[in-house]
Amino acid sequence: MKMIKKARLLFIIMFTLMINGFMTGSATQSELKLKKIGVIDTNGQVMDIVVENNIAYIVDDLNGFFIYNVSDSSNPIELYHDSSAGRANGIDIVGDLAYLAVVFEGLKVYNISNLADPINIGNFEDSGAIVDVQIMENVAYLSDHGSIETGTGGIKIINVSDSSNPYRITTFNGGGKPSNLFAKNKTIYAADYEFGYEILNVSDPIGVNCISKLNQDTGFFGVYVENDFAYFTDNSFQKGLYIYDMKNLSNPILVNSFSMEGDPCDLQVNNNIAYIADSETGLHIINVSNPNSLVQIGHYSDGGKPFDVEICDHIVYVADIEDGVEIIEWSFSNNQTISGYGLGIFVAIFITISLLQYRLKK
């Protein structure tokens, strides 16, 4: 009987400490620190950035296409610049190829196997307001912001299996003004500036099927998909972050929203943290691990106009249409390397073993 009571006591002690660990682990995220450690000045208007393997690929609405080595984030080194790339607004990287969405020109494809000397190997000419590009399975999806009056807006679907000779497969025109796109699992998630979003099944690029569409008075600008959730930004009327449950693509469910006072543009979500570029109020970082309870855990502003973000480990690359690319390092102010939960379990196990050893000696 005494042994049973002792076992129960030890269990209660360990359980209490584990619960305490959960509590302290969740608290650490409220102490996020942000520090600017570097900048890339393109002398133009940076619209989009992709960072892979310490290489930053940057497109600028005024100055074209840039490539930088950012292995030392505090001292980026320019490797390449092509001012003739035009009004490049979007970029996607697949292997040794860079795909640029260029306003009033269409799609440009670069071979970037030699980072110091990329070669423009193919073009798809289009006079529309092409603002974004996503590549999936040798198909390029171009977002044409266009105009409703002329009916030019839509998602243009381009075969790029031969990168030197891209050609149009079809155009999907949902009647709005698509802005940013996200491609995943043969599905295109399109933020639309006029009415919200469109979810497209593109398993057959010739016969694109609209799975679902949000019709509302306000539109969405940015989009990012992680796990079963789609994250949209609204910078028109009901400004903020909107989270939809996408388990059933034919019937997405609005889970929650986070109101913002500025002009939220594009965003990225990484490990349940949403990084939002707001062209009026700066970089906002929101914990979305519990979609029903959204908490802002970080904010950085130096007066610029952030438009897009790219996350690499503990570095945030902010594409700013006034200040180039700002490189922000984030960390937790308490510098913990062991989460509260892990620490709680460690302490519980240590005390349990110590008590057992003490009882055995007696």
The residue among 125 and 353 whose pLDDT is bigger is: 125
Give residue for tokens 């409220």.
Answer: 30
Evaluate if residue 58 carries a pLDDT over 60: yes
**pTM tops 0.75:** yes
Please give, one letter per residue, the 3-state secondary structure of 18-56. Answer: HHHHHHHHHHHHHHEEEEEEEEECCCCCEEEEEEECCEE
pLDDT score at 262: 93
115 to each of 51, 67, 93, how far by Cα in Å? 13, 7, 13
Evaluate if residue 21 carries a pLDDT over 90: no
pLDDT score at 123: 98
Residue 328 backbone phi and psi in degrees, to 5: -115, 130
pLDDT score at 217: 77
pLDDT digits (tens, 9 = 90+) for 189-236: 999 998 899 999 999 999 999 999 998 877 899 999 999 999 999 998
**C-alpha span between 112 and 158 (Å, rounded):** 20
| Candidate ranges 9-18, 27-36, 157-166, 189-198; pick with highest mean pLDDT | 157-166
Helices and strands in the chain: count of H runs, count of E runs: 2, 28
Domains and CATH numbers, the chain: 46-215 (2.130.10.10)
Which of 15-29, 125-139, 167-181, 323-337 is the least confident region?
A: 15-29
**C-alpha span between 101 and 91 (Å, rounded):** 6
* Average pLDDT over the chain, rounded to an integer: 87
Rounded CA Rg of the chain: 24
Mean pLDDT of 287-291: 97
Q: Which residues contact 224 (CB under 8 A, 6 or more apart)?
A: 182, 230, 231, 267, 268, 269, 274
For residue 32, the cross-strand partners are: 332
Per 3-state DSSP, the chain is made up of helix, strand and coil in percentages (nearest 5) of 15, 50, 35
pLDDT score at 146: 76
pLDDT digits (tens, 9 = 90+) for 79-118: 999 999 999 999 999 999 999 999 999 999 999 999 999 9
Strands ordered across the beta sheet of 77-82: 46-52, 55-60, 64-69, 77-82
pLDDT confidence tier of residue 151, bands split at 50, 70 and 90: low
The pair of three-digit structure tokens given for residue 77, joined into one six-digit string? 């080194």
